[in-house]
Amino acid sequence: MFILHYADPRFLAGVSKHGFPAEHGLRLHNTGYMKTPFGERWRDSPVLQSARKSGRPYFIDRLTGGMPFQSLDGLTDIARTLKNDAHFLGFQVHEWDNCPFHDYRLIKKEFFDKDIPFTEANFAKYVGLTLRPYFEGGDYATYRDLYTPLNTMKNAKRYLEGYFSRMVELTEGQVLSVNGYGQFPHTVFRLGGKNNMAEIGNQVYQSAFQISCVRGAGREYGKPFGVYYETWGGSPFSCTCATSFSPWLPEEGQFKLFDEFGGASVQGGSSRSLQRRLVYFSWLSGSQWWADEWGAENYFFDWDQHPLTEYGNIMLAFTTIAQRVGPVTPIVPAALVLPPDTLGLDVGYVAGTRRLVFDAVEPDPCHNLVRDWAKEMLAPRPWRKGGDDYNLTPSLWAGAIDVLSADASPEVLSRYDVTMFVDENHRAKADHPKKLGVDIESAHESQSIIRQRLPFRVDGEVGCVQAHSSDRVLVGVFNNLGVMKLDGKETLDPQSARTATITGPCTDLIPLYGEQHVRQRNNNSVTVELPPGDLAVLSFARA
């Protein structure tokens, strides 16, 4: 897994100074807080020209979402110049469930609820705004033919697919999709998108299941996947930021705007414990790349002397280990198979924290079935102020499942030891020796099969993911309990320490991370005692 570092020479100087691996990619900022149309900004950009010449993987972060909408005039011309560049991962389209729904609610509030005609002339006063109320995902032309009352899943599907198709058209198919709550990775490829990332972090539930979605879609379509780590979280809600500036806020004074979100400081955001667990979990789960949403602000306290923060030290330690081990392949014996042509899944609803799907429409049968299944397979945890155990959960199975669609080929389905079908009709038609449903009984049978097919048995109230390296088996064990981030302070509940036992051919043990937690070891088992929020990554010789 390589890191996509922020493509600023001042930042990259610190990366080089501290000995981060040279094999990294580049993340190019595009922000709606600048009013320059997209084409005008990037057509002759030296940053883009340098990235293209570097031979490194790179992407442009972002077109839409989480910021004021920027005119996309000239985007298609830029896309045509990058279309055949094998190193270009795409133009990031960010949260294309949240931002179109945000804009839908804004249109309803500002136009229809006030009996103001939704016309281009009336929309004009919102063009170019960088203070709320602003549109995040599009302009009048974007929504003119898309807007419709979103009172059913069918309408929501039409609305979101129409929105994404427009982005695919504007970019000549060069869309790098990034979503958190709404996981639509199969739809991304079905509609002509290029790549997928899962947006993981404290805000979103079930990060392991998000990775299951993008990894499964990637395997179904023969594509890699990545993750996008956002540092927002904690209580009060805030963002980790070690510097007094941010590339997202290029104009003087804009940084102060983030006070309305709870502030941005080195003490803000989610816990460093969660950051550490997520980067190791993503790597062992097969992610090909990692990008930080606000990472450039977090590695160093300044960009002159580059003193490392705790955030930066975590990433340096991780990248050093990952470089030494080399590529890894996750061991995934099970697949959850969604009905064909499914838009996607709302992981918040699946985790049991939302009444409506996408916070907008009543759930369909697929969501209700997957929600019941998740209670047995994903160990969902309730939200609590300042906590993060609802993110990575103490599930032994979450790291061993891919999410596929029923459109997957028999060749893809045959890679799995057990397939769990949401739709009974497609289960009946499937040519697979182990095809189960998603009821409780089938969930228990699935757990038994997964346990038999993994190289090592892990017991304990912990998260787990197993992977192959070139000649080793890696076992990651994660204690996802007991971490609180309140008022800028990270506290650990000692009552949440957990013991895990790894049973199997435990010969030639090499602890890659967490050696201090190993308590007992022999050729058949290893016991680890994990403090709250900690992890261990153990490497064994292949049997």
Q: For residue 118, which phi and psi values (nearest 5 degrees)?
A: -85, 90
- What is the distance between the alpha carbons of residues 380 and 484, in angstroms, rounded to a whole number? 17
Backbone angle region of 206, left / alpha / beta, with phi > 0 → left and psi within -120 to 50 → alpha: left
Which class for 511: exposed (0-12), middle (13-18), buried (19 or more C-beta within 10 A)? middle
pLDDT of residue 253: 77
| Mean pLDDT, range 455-481, rounded to an integer | 97
pLDDT at 260: 62
For Cα atoms 205, 210, 214, give the angle at the middle one, nearest 5 degrees.
165
Is the model's pLDDT at 261 over the cut of 80? no
Residue 276's nearest CA partner among 38, 106, 483 is: 483
CA pair distance 424, 414, nearest whole angstrom: 18
Cα torsion for 362, 366, 371, 377, to the nearest 10°? -170
Q: Is residue 496 within 8 Å of residue 481, measured between CB atoms?
A: yes
User: What CA–CA distances, in Å, run from 184 to 159, 173, 338?
Assistant: 13, 16, 11
Torsion of CA 348, 351, 354, 356, to 10 degrees: 80
- Residue among 234, 172, 147 nearest 488 (CA): 234
* Ramachandran angles phi, psi of 308, nearest 5°: -75, 140
Give the Cα-Cα-Cα angle 163, 166, 167 (nearest 5 degrees).
95
| DSSP category for residue 517 | G
* Amino acid identity for residue 234 in this structure: G
pLDDT at 1: 96
Q: How far is CA 272 from CA 260, 298, 416, in A?
A: 23, 11, 35
Nearest to 510 by CA among 464, 460, 463, 471: 471
Q: For residue 193, what are its two tokens?
A: 């998108």
Is the model's pLDDT at 259 over the cut of 70?
A: no
Q: Give tens-digit pLDDT for 91-102.
A: 999 999 999 999
**Residue 61 near residue 291, CB atoms below 8 Å:** yes
pLDDT tens digits for 109-119? 999 999 999 99
Strand positions, DSSP E, 213-276: 226-230, 232-233, 238-240, 264-265
Q: How confident is the model at residue 454 (pLDDT cuts 50, 70, 90)?
A: very high
User: Residue 311: what pLDDT?
Assistant: 98
Q: How far is CA 437 from the centre of its chain?
A: 27
pLDDT in tens, 9-41: 999 999 999 999 999 999 999 998 988 999 999
Which pair of structure tokens corresponds to residue 438? 């998603």
8 Å CB contact between 315 and 339: no
Query: In this predicted model, what pLDDT tens digit does every residue of 351-398 receive, in sequence order?
Result: 999 999 998 999 999 999 999 999 999 999 999 999 999 999 999 999
pLDDT tops 70 at residue 262: no
State the Cα–Cα distance between residues 160 and 179, nearest whole angstrom.
Answer: 13
Taking phi over 0 as left and psi of -120 to 50 as alpha, with beta for the rest, 248 belongs to alpha
Measured between alpha carbons, how far is residue 230 from residues 62, 87, 89 in Å? Answer: 14, 24, 19
234-252: pLDDT as tens digits: 999 999 999 988 999 887 7
Query: How far apart are alpha carbons 13 and 19 in whole angstroms?
Result: 10
In the prediction, which pLDDT does 263 show?
A: 81
Report the interhelical angle of 365-377 vs 440-453 (nearest 10°). 50
